[in-house]
Structure 1
Amino acid sequence: MVIDPKHLELLRLFDEYGSVTAVADVTHRSPSAVSQQLRQAGSEIGHALVEPAGRGLTLTAAGRLLAHGGRDVARTLARVQAQWEGHLGEAVGEITLAGLPSALTHLLPDALRRLREDHPHIDLRMDDVDLAEHEFAGLTRDVDIVVAHSLVAERPLGTDGLTVVPLAREPIDVALAIGHPLADRAELTPDDIVDCRWVGVPRGYPFDTILTSIEHLTGRDLDVVQRIRDNRLIEAIVASSDQVALLPRFTTPRDAGLSLVPLTGVTTTRWIVAVMRPDTAERVAVRAVISALSRVDDAAV
């Protein structure tokens, strides 16, 4: 019996996305069509590949084995595609990229200029997302390059088994209104700011680890009055109040009515990295985009 590669791909997708509805969404098919194809795959192979689980379906042991094989096939096809592109020596095609806005603001302007000059046949399609650190890895199922960040390590949480390439390092400073009593300081320590009222980020977001470190070092809880994702909104709140926040040094506007003061005594430098599936990372066009994004060796960083 020869196994149809289309069945392997379907099982791979079902294993990765976890439901018939999710597979239907990403493959632009109806849930009933996906269910029918799963049944057809099991019938042709001669083994049950899915079984009921609550109100949905889950893979059987046979289904999981073939889903793993589907991943191997996908990686092999992508590797052959990358080798073929390398043979042709061409960086062409559509590349999808998603990442957090503050990092993309820092990296994209120069990257787009470099790509326009050196690789005009790459079509870069972008989306901005702001997620908890461990959530970025999941985007690699649908996106070629995910720009993520971490203050803990070069490899963000949840990226085991994925290719991670450092792009830049950026200090995170304490942001205060220009008229704040601490705004003219050359640097600040955790003891200096432990009594401040804070605008934080949602728990699980990398910047929150700095606030946690301040609490551990001082032995006191911070007064986090609100938790907000959008840096522009945080800037506006800080500039017009006595509240303080943590903001990236390179992408916070200099005319926003803020003073950015370095914080000592805790780790405040974030790694900005590209996260990709290993097979995707081998594509010539993807490597060209990564090279254009990279600012690791930039003296300004």
Structure 2
Amino acid sequence: MFDSRHIKTFHAVVAAGSYSAAARVLGYTQPAITQQMKALERAVGTPLFTRVGRRMRLTEAGEALARHAETILDTLTVAQQQMSSLTRLRSGRVRMCAFPSAGATLVPEALARLAADHPGVRVELLEGEPPESLRRLERGEFDIALAFTYPGLHDEVPDELVEIPLLEDQLTVLMPAGHPLARRRAVVLADLAEERWIAGCLRCRTNFLHECTQVGFAPDIAFTTDDILVVQSLVAEGLGVAMMPGLVLSFLRHDRIVGRPLDPASRRQVSAYVLRDHLRVPATALVLDELKAAARRRAGCC
């Protein structure tokens, strides 16, 4: 294995024509140059220079190495520049997976700040629901996963993953604006026992059924869909009510529906997950910081 310092010195010797001239160019002593060239020749396994009188000539091996030395040094320079850009956050790529309501709220807020302060750091967005998103994160398919858990429905997080809590998201009930309970500030789940329901993703649906059971009724689920905009449209047309996370309220698109929090309050935990070793990657750590800041801003305005 060649030492890059020795290659740099060898290139200087070839360009300057002698050890003493290379020493002056590099600011070394001549014995230091001699020692480095001896070390390089030991690594190569053959002499690189011969002396003809007072002049030095390259051996065949020396000529071969000289043809590659500049390319090697140029490649190292480019590599050093790229490493510097990554560590100083002038560049970098982070793959992030988010569930839809976080992808429509926390993620854009975080990425807007990131783009303003570190435009060279790019984030590749993917969409996925837990627990599958956590399994994909563990397999290395992306660097950060945003996921949520409900009380009593926690997943066992693999040891390789670190959970970073972001915020508690209060559950709400979406209903037509003309619904009798829409005038209340908060609604009691049991008061909606006779309603038809639109249920969301599997994990949300599981929690919804659990909460209904806790207050003593089995809900009449008329429709199920993972698409939040479809849920809103169904509610707007009076086809049912829906239990949705509070994050959804910030992008309601129908003026014919309203969202009311549950009383007593029911919440889910929203967290970022990352492979433990990736916490040391500068770009990944930066994106996590921006997500935490976005979550703090959102918690402060609620």
What's the TM-score bracket when you normalise by the shorter of the two chains?
Answer: 0.5 to 0.7
Answering whether residue 243 of structure 2 is matched by residue 241 of structure 1, we say no
Question: For residues 156 and 93 of structure 1, do their structure 2 counterparts lie closer, same or farther at Cα, with a shift above 3 Å needed?
Answer: farther
Please, which of 278, 281, 286 is the counterpart of residue 280 of structure 1? 278
* Partner SS state of residue 180, structure 2: coil
Matches within 5 A, 1:196-235: 196-203=195-202, 205-206=203-204, 208-218=206-216, 220-235=217-232
Structure 2 equivalent of residue 182 of structure 1: 181
Q: Runs of 4 or more off by more than 6 Å in structure 1?
A: 84-87
* Partner SS state of residue 133, structure 2: helix
Please, which of 269, 273, 281 is the counterpart of residue 271 of structure 1? 269
* Partner SS state of residue 263, structure 2: coil
Structure 2 equivalent of residue 262 of structure 1: 261
Question: For residues 250 and 134 of structure 1, do their structure 2 counterparts lie closer, same or farther at Cα, with a shift above 3 Å needed?
Answer: closer
Q: Which has the higher helix share?
A: 2
Structure 1, unpaired ranges of 5+:
1-83
* Partner SS state of residue 109, structure 1: helix
Give the letter aligned to residue 225 of structure 1: A
Structure 2 equivalent of residue 192 of structure 1: 191
Number of residue pairs the alignment of both structures matches? 212
Question: For residues 264 and 207 of structure 1, do their structure 2 counterparts lie closer, same or farther at Cα, with a shift above 3 Å needed?
Answer: farther
- Scaled by the length of structure 1, the TM-score of the pair is 0.64
Greater Cα radius of gyration, structure 1 or 2? 2
- C-alpha contact 1:166 1:273 (8 A) present in aligned 2: yes
Matches within 5 A, 1:94-173: 94-129=93-128, 131=129, 133-140=130-137, 141=139, 142-152=141-151, 156-161=154-159, 162-173=161-172
Structure 2, unpaired ranges of 5+:
1-82
The Cα RMSD (Å) is 2.4
* Partner SS state of residue 206, structure 1: helix
User: Identity, % of aligned pairs?
Assistant: 22
Give the letter aligned to residue 291 of structure 1: D
Relative contact order higher in (CA < 8 Å, ≥ 6 apart): 1
User: Cα deviation per residue 1:73-111 (whole Å; 9 max; x = unaligned)?
Assistant: xxxxxxxxxxx8799443631110111111111112221
